[in-house]
Amino acid sequence: MKSGLIILMLFCFLSGGLLAQQRNVIDDEAKVPEYKVPDVLTRFNGGKIKTAKDWYRKQRPEILQKFTQEVYGKVPGVLGIHEVKVWETSPDALNGLAVRRQLSLFFKKGDKSLEVNVLMYLPKSQQKVPVFLAYNFTGNHAVYNDPNIRLTESWVNNDPSVGIINNQVTEQSRATASNRWPVEEIIKSGYGLVTLYYGDVDPDKDDFSDGIEPFFYQENQTHPKFDEWGSIAAWAWGLSRVMDYLEKDDLVDAKKVAVLGHSRLGKTALWAGATDQRFALVVSNESGCGGAALSKRIFGETVQIINTSFPHWFCGNFKKYNNNEADLPIDQHMLLALIAPRPLYVASAEGDKWADPRGEFLAAKYASAVYELLGKEGLPVKEMPEVNHPVMGTIGYHIRSGKHDLTLYDWQQYIRFADKFFR
Ligand code: GCU
């Protein structure tokens, strides 16, 4: 009896402690606690940044370093493309409207090798064309109804409803994501689409034995170190390697590459844009926590939740901020500021509270100070616009009606936005 009581008390004590760790998810603006985000133009040592020169020389490198060290992790080494194999360049895609090019980038180190399949649809043109570069979630063949698209052999998350069985895609998976990829609209607007499956670079699971990470392991290493890349940084690295290729492609204008991503791939596009200034324009579609949304608001998904559900996405150091966002030396508006002065579009959806639309808007607003310092407009509004009323300065923003998704409406805004800078 007595020992039963002790066990019960111990249980209550332990579960009380655990429960105290679990915060309720905040989805009501009135419940957002007091929080303070760092001023993007104040240095970590307290000094103030007043000139563009000081931004580039002092503040930008320090902010980039903090995100690398504390959030996404550093790339542990250098590895270029070993070989490019172009499978085809066909002038007859989309009923003759576009050129379809498919190629593989091969990476090699010691006995390890990795193949990354790239699919390109390009408008026919006398000149090199601007492109949207974007990862897809389930393979290139899912993007468009075209039997010529090669199937990935990489691990893909099982989803029998779209023909993904035993972690492999099948013929049945073709065009199953085509609602997210208005290829004809993109081509008719004069843009190319360059897309690749993110799992070719690193399968999206908490397993660091596959994908690109092991290429850099020292002897007996099985995981990246605490300050080394998680999957988001690995995927961003992959986008930079595609950029290495695009700089050599004879049909693409590599000075006009807009990197775009939805959700976890929006987080990835932002980190790619921050770390690689060759990306001329960056689009974050509903990237949420660890993307465009402020972490310190703890609205919707939090650092603790994301690090628990997806322990492989960020670097080990980021776990220090589980239920401890106040200690973060940075917040996500400072990530957005790293993209300045290049055009940046942040998009939210009304039905996507998980990604904290207001937190995404505020991050874009707070990043504007850097754009202004660099002589650009930043966000053209101070208050969140109405649903379906996009605003476009050098930072663009919209919140559209509907749920978490990448829709034709979103793409239409990105094309309009790109037109402002690329035409
Ligand atoms: C989950 C995750 C988000 C992420 C999203 C996605 O919802 O919590 O952080 O953005 O998946 O990538 O679809």
Note the pLDDT of residue 14.
46
Buried b (16+ CB within 10 A) or exposed e, 89-100: eeeebbeeebbb
CA distances for 170 relative to 6, 21, 200, 366, angstroms: 56, 43, 16, 45
- 3-state SS assignment for residue 165: strand
From atom 13 of ligand 1, which residue's Cα is the shortest distance away? 263
Identity of the amino acid at 272: A
Gyration radius of the chain over CA positions: 22
Per-residue DSSP letter, 356: -
Q: Can you point out the beta strands (E) in 45-158?
A: 83-93, 98-109, 112-123, 129-136
Catalytic residues: 263, 404
Q: Can you point out the beta strands (E) in 4-82?
A: none
Tens digit of pLDDT for each residue in 97-124?
999 999 999 999 999 999 999 999 999 9
Residue pointed to by tokens 């992959």: 238
In ligand 1, which atom is closest to the CA atom of 289? Answer: 9
In ligand 1, which atom is closest to the CA atom of 290? Answer: 9
Identity of the amino acid at 148: N
How far is ligand 1, taken at its centre, from the CA of residue 263, in Å? 6
Note the pLDDT of residue 2.
46
Identity of the amino acid at 262: H
| Alpha carbon of residue 209 to chain centroid | 22
CATH number of 72-422: 3.40.50.1820
Note the pLDDT of residue 21.
55
Say yes or no: CB of residue 301 within 6 Å of ligand 1.
Answer: yes
List strands edge to edge, sheet with 98-109: 83-93, 98-109, 112-123, 192-197, 129-136, 252-262, 281-285, 344-349, 395-400, 391-392
Say yes or no: CB of residue 413 within 6 Å of ligand 1.
Answer: no
How far is ligand 1, taken at its centre, from the CA of residue 108, in Å? 31
Note the pLDDT of residue 293.
99
How many whole angstroms separate alpha carbon 203 and alpha carbon 205? 6
Say yes or no: CB of residue 306 within 6 Å of ligand 1.
Answer: yes
Say yes or no: CB of residue 266 within 6 Å of ligand 1.
Answer: no
* Residue ranges in the chain modelled with pLDDT below 70: 1-22
Note the pLDDT of residue 23.
85
- pTM metric for this prediction: 0.95
How far is ligand 1, taken at its centre, from the CA of residue 136, in Å? 14
Say yes or no: CB of residue 285 within 6 Å of ligand 1.
Answer: no
